[in-house]
Amino acid sequence: MARPPAGPVAPLLLALDVGSSSVRALAFDAAGRALGVECQRPYEPDTTPDGGVEIDADRLLALSAEALDGAVAALGGRTPAVAAVATCTFWHTLLGLGADGRPRTPVYSWADTRSAAAVDALRARVDEKAYHARVGCRLHTSYLPARLWWLRTRAPAAFAAVRHWVSFGEYLGLRLCGELATSVSMASGTGLFDQRACRWDPGILEVLELDPGRLGPIADLDRGLGPLRPEFAARWPGLAGARWLPALADGACSNVGAGCTTARQAALMVGTSGAMRVCVAAASVGIPDGLWCYRVDRRRLLLGGSLANGGSVYAWLVEVLRLPAGDALEAAIAAMEPDAHGLTMLPFLAGERSLGWNAAARAALVGVSLATRPVDIVRAGLETVAYRFALIHERLRDACPDLREVVATGGALLASPAWTRIVADVLGVPLTPSTEQEGSSRGAALLASEALGLIPSVETVPAGRGPVIEPDPGRHARYRAGLARHRQLYDLLLPSALGERRPL
């Protein structure tokens, strides 16, 4: 891998990162190095008692513009050196736009579970194995088919009034540049996209009775959006020469930013949720049951699995058990022996994604006794999240036999040395912490740099790594016993991915 250059590499790039709790704008050089320019605007999505998770599209647009205001102000006289503005945003969101391009619905998050009944309705109409092989997704509340079915059933007139169904990323591009374009990256995570043909999938669209013209035109980073609309050109005159690119998916960008760009490296991310992803430069790949397949772009597939419950498990346990999060709790967790608490836990506080894709799944804890302490339950929660990653890792290794390295990313995981140690010992493979603090933003900037020809490819740019955490064989053996109990409890309590009750 090439060595990084000694100083900042011109021109510059702006990355707008629209996440699930904040919007940030950051500046990078052409080699993906942060320039210390950042503006952040936090927010919280709206939730409803029946499982809704929504965001007002224009509120998010205003926050995005404010974040860009701050970054432009911080860049000052360097702003004209910005060659491109790249956006990364969360996968699997849905927004309905009218014929005038204005929102007719809120932005529905991937975490919105109100379409659970629609999943069952679709399973009665779709060959799910064939569907999974084509689009790389399961029928689940996280993806757009179930949400579109739910919206059509709930409010047919309102559904018919929507001219385009898009993600927030496409709406942002439309408002800023007046052009609607859906990147291959964003389209690939919808559940509506044929991964091999790189087009909207005719089969699922026929089931949904949805014309492909009601979705965004598919584009890649080899083409930019139009110039800024007059109101935004006047707001950011220093960006008059910058190229504005279609929005990319945060998960794909995160792999690139962490330097996990080949089939030899898996990125393991734990934030509020969790994911494990491998980038594969191939036209197609066999998709193991339980995993998904999306795309970084037309040349690169992304194979992996997702957890709806990652850092949220730790946060929930600390809150419910009324424990003070901090160094004392971290030390207590680290001092415990593996699987010494006698507890077996399922972490599905917000339903299950990989591997079983059961949105109705709920958490369970067994083995509690009079001797059980709150810290035992927290430790069991961290271990059970690691067990879910171990199950994903097993299937990724079957699909990607060259997989050698697992890179740890995400604030929730990297903030806890005890948890990173648990994950390494559970997986039984070396775990390498990433030192790239802004992986998604950095990845968006690097993909833009590649698209503009400023770097040969994202694979040639090194990424920061911390000291490798080697697994302990004895601890790994004890965790294998804990994982076996975890599997048994799962098989006992939960329906299969297709909704049938397993025999007891």
Give the DSSP H/E element, type plus range, for residue 474: helix 473-493
Q: What percent of the chain has pLDDT over 90?
A: 91
The pLDDT tens digits of the residues spanning 35-76 come to 999 999 999 999 999 999 999 999 999 999 999 999 999 999
Residue 116's Cβ-count burial label (10 Å; 0-12, 13-18, 19+) is: middle
Q: Is the pLDDT of residue 437 over 90?
A: no
Q: What percent of the chain has pLDDT over 70?
A: 96
Nearest by Cα to 122 from 154, 152, 104, 146: 146
Domain boundaries, given as residue ranges, for the chain: 12-251, 307-433+472-493
Give the DSSP H/E element, type plus range, for residue 498: none
Q: Is the pLDDT of residue 223 over 60?
A: yes
Q: What's the rounded mean pLDDT across residues 5-34? A: 89
Q: Do domains 12-251 and 307-433+472-493 have the same CATH topology?
A: yes
Global pTM reads 0.93
**Cα–Cα dist 496/391, whole Å:** 15
- Looking at residue 3, what is its pLDDT? 52
The pLDDT tens digits of the residues spanning 400-412 come to 999 999 999 999 9
pLDDT band at 374 (very low <50, low <70, confident <90, very high): very high
Q: What's the rounded mean pLDDT across residues 424-429? A: 98
Q: What's the rounded mean pLDDT across residues 303-323? A: 96
Contacts of 365-374 with C-beta under 8 Å, sequence gap 24+, read 366/489, 367/341, 367/342, 367/343, 368/343, 369/342, 372/341, 372/342, 372/343, 374/321, 374/322, 374/323
The pLDDT tens digits of the residues spanning 180-192 come to 999 999 999 999 9
Instruction: Note the CATH number of domain 307-433+472-493.
Output: 3.30.420.40
Select 12-251's CATH number: 3.40.50.2300, 3.90.1150.10, 3.30.420.40, 3.50.50.60: 3.30.420.40
pLDDT band at 217 (very low <50, low <70, confident <90, very high): very high
Average pLDDT, the chain: 94
pLDDT band at 500 (very low <50, low <70, confident <90, very high): very low
- Looking at residue 499, what is its pLDDT? 41
- Looking at residue 504, what is its pLDDT? 26
Residue 404's Cβ-count burial label (10 Å; 0-12, 13-18, 19+) is: middle
- Number of Cβ atoms within 10 Å of the Cβ of 168: 25
**Cα–Cα dist 177/170, whole Å:** 10
- Looking at residue 495, what is its pLDDT? 62
Q: Is the pLDDT of residue 6 over 70?
A: no
pLDDT band at 220 (very low <50, low <70, confident <90, very high): confident
Q: What's the rounded mean pLDDT across residues 335-339? A: 97
- Looking at residue 222, what is its pLDDT? 83
The pairing of strands 82-89 and 248-249 is parallel
